[in-house]
Amino acid sequence: MLFSASELTLWFGVSLLELLIFLTCGTATAVLVMLRLTGALTSSWLVLLAPLFVSDALNAYFCVIVLIRMYLYSMLRPGVLRTMWSTGVIALSFVFKFLLCRRLDDPGGLEFSAVLAPIFILLQMLMIRACHFKTGADLA
């Protein structure tokens, strides 16, 4: 069963615009990686994964805009909490992508456990966040 958009925004703590940015940049990255694997491109992995880094930058910019708007509407506490969560997610995904680029450029350099460490931390954060939600069955 697939998740609805409202469930995704609730669990990940991001808006639909942020999800759209990530999906667009993820699609562009998938096309570039396929071109590299078929031999049509010979660029470095850092260049091929650049759209994902762009999505992180755009999501960070959007996060700052949301913080400023929530501050102007006198909702500072929820704004700061949302910004802290989004900044953590963006930082962990950035570190993972950077370590993945380093691993792909130099296969003997980093272990996969070191590359995947930010993903493990992110999954733990998502599990903790999911435990705080009330479902429809809990409310009845």
User: Structurally, how many domains does the chain consist of?
Assistant: 1
Quote the domain boundaries for residue 114.
12-132
Residue 140: predicted pLDDT: 45
Question: For the chain, what percent of residues have pLDDT higher than 70?
Answer: 94
Sign of CA dihedral 14, 17, 20, 25: negative
Give domain status of residue 6, yes or no. no
Give domain status of residue 7, yes or no. no
Give domain status of residue 118, yes or no. yes
Give domain status of residue 3, yes or no. no
Give domain status of residue 57, yes or no. yes
**Bigger pLDDT: 116 vs 11:** 116
The per-residue pLDDT for range 40-91, each reduced to its tens digit, is 988 899 999 999 999 999 999 999 999 999 999 999 898 898 899 999 999 9
Give the helix ranges, DSSP H, for the chain.
5-12, 16-38, 45-48, 50-72, 76-105, 112-131, 136-139
